[in-house]
A and B are shown apart, each in its own frame.
Chain A
């Protein structure tokens, strides 16, 4: 049952957040419940190994390889797993494709659900109250905060990540990129373009 006692146990720890973390880490480490080397390993994973470069590879491949694109739209979990992207907070992936008629935007109004194996740890704005509250009600005004304006003929689909399914936006391939290699295409795919708050970048002239 829920406990609604306002005197939560956490109030016994130091109030300053950095000290609160340190105090809890120290208690758990002394009891052998947490291995400091494991903490370093977790931090290194999300600081250095898993991030939006993974998702950008998926998008570039979808642009360049029609067979992969078809597989991605049919079963994205299998398609990205085959590229080596899987794990915590990416167990069930669905890819949603932007077109001239439809723009996709992803949010989690209830917490901060995000496709970690493809995009890493979410940026601060994605976890902010303002984004969580507004994205479902006024996505176009939120896009304006990012400097993005959609044509009136483009409908917006906002995906509220209420379950364990994680959505990856496949932005539209920019014009003038026909001759580019998959690797060069990757450089045009920003983190925000895979959440839906940006468009893919135009290639440098």
Chain B
């Protein structure tokens, strides 16, 4: 089954409220701090992007729905720090050991920030299986859509395309498979495709017969048709 973050197509959320183009980038000072503390903690190298996404998705549904955006970030970060052995529960309670941490030498320094952000973390890899599908080919999205790597595990396959027929639009090359990488099972790169779906095949009341939805989907999410 799904987790609460997999909300594509959901009903009942009401209007989208646009922000002005000149609205502050960080509405509150603590939003900026939450982003910065999360990025700086990530630079300690104790988890990858897929692990951190999964930590946000694993928040209890009532918390995921009730927390604001950066509240989700900071709460998931606290969970990650403990789950990965960087902090102990006593630390969060203010009763931890004093003194420098064993990982302190890896802390991101101000002078390294620009280079680290500029470097990013490319997800494409030279290794992995050959592409099984080619542009224009019809495919079907596998069912069930939930993770095959871990029960309740991380995946980037949204429920709303499960079982749907789509068409390969382009091949992006081999990319790290989040379903594996989020669980310490290795990067397992495989071909990643942009796949085109007719909106009328996804929704009973599609707005226009020619509208389409495109998703980036890994080869193991797809079956030949």
A residues sitting closer than 8 Å to B (CB atoms) are 1-4, 6, 8-10, 12-13, 17-18, 20-25, 27-28, 30-35, 37-43, 45-47, 51-52, 86-92, 94, 109-112, 120-121, 123-125, 127-134, 136-142, 145-146, 152, 155-165, 190-192, 197
Contact = CB atoms under 8 A, between A and B. Distances in A.
B17 A123 contact: no
A25 B37 contact: yes
Interface of B: 5-11, 13-19, 21, 23, 25-30, 32-37, 39-41, 44, 53-54, 56, 58-60, 63, 65, 67-71, 74-79, 81-83, 86-87, 89, 91-94, 96, 98-101, 103-104, 107-110, 112-114, 116-124, 150-153, 156-158, 160, 172, 175-176, 178, 183, 192, 194, 199, 202-203, 207-208, 210-218
B122 A91 contact: yes
A134 to B, nearest CB: 6
B18 A197 contact: yes
Contact of A37 (B6, B100, B110, B172): B110
20 contacts: A2-B152, A10-B78, A17-B34, A18-B30, A21-B34, A27-B92, A31-B100, A33-B107, A35-B110, A42-B117, A46-B32, A86-B120, A109-B158, A121-B25, A136-B213, A138-B207, A152-B208, A155-B208, A157-B214, A163-B218
Given A27-B87, A130-B14, A130-B16, A2 B150 contact: yes
Given A27-B96, A155-B208, 10 more contacts: A8-B63, A9-B79, A9-B81, A17-B34, A17-B70, A20-B75, A38-B112, A133-B8, A141-B207, A163-B192
A175 B7 CA distance: 38
B71 A140 contact: no
B185 to A, nearest CB: 11
Contacts of A109: 6-9, 158, 160
Given A38-B110, A91-B122, A132 B211 contact: no
A35 B109 contact: yes
In this complex, which of B29, B54, B214 has the most chain A Cβ atoms within 10 angstroms of its Cβ?
B214
Contacts of A28: 37, 40-41, 81
A78 B152 CA distance: 37
Nearest to A134: B13
B221 to A, nearest CB: 9
B158 A160 contact: yes
Contact of B183 (A1, A12, A41): A1
A77 to B, nearest CB: 9
A41 B110 contact: yes
Contacts of B68: 17
Contacts of B101: 31-33
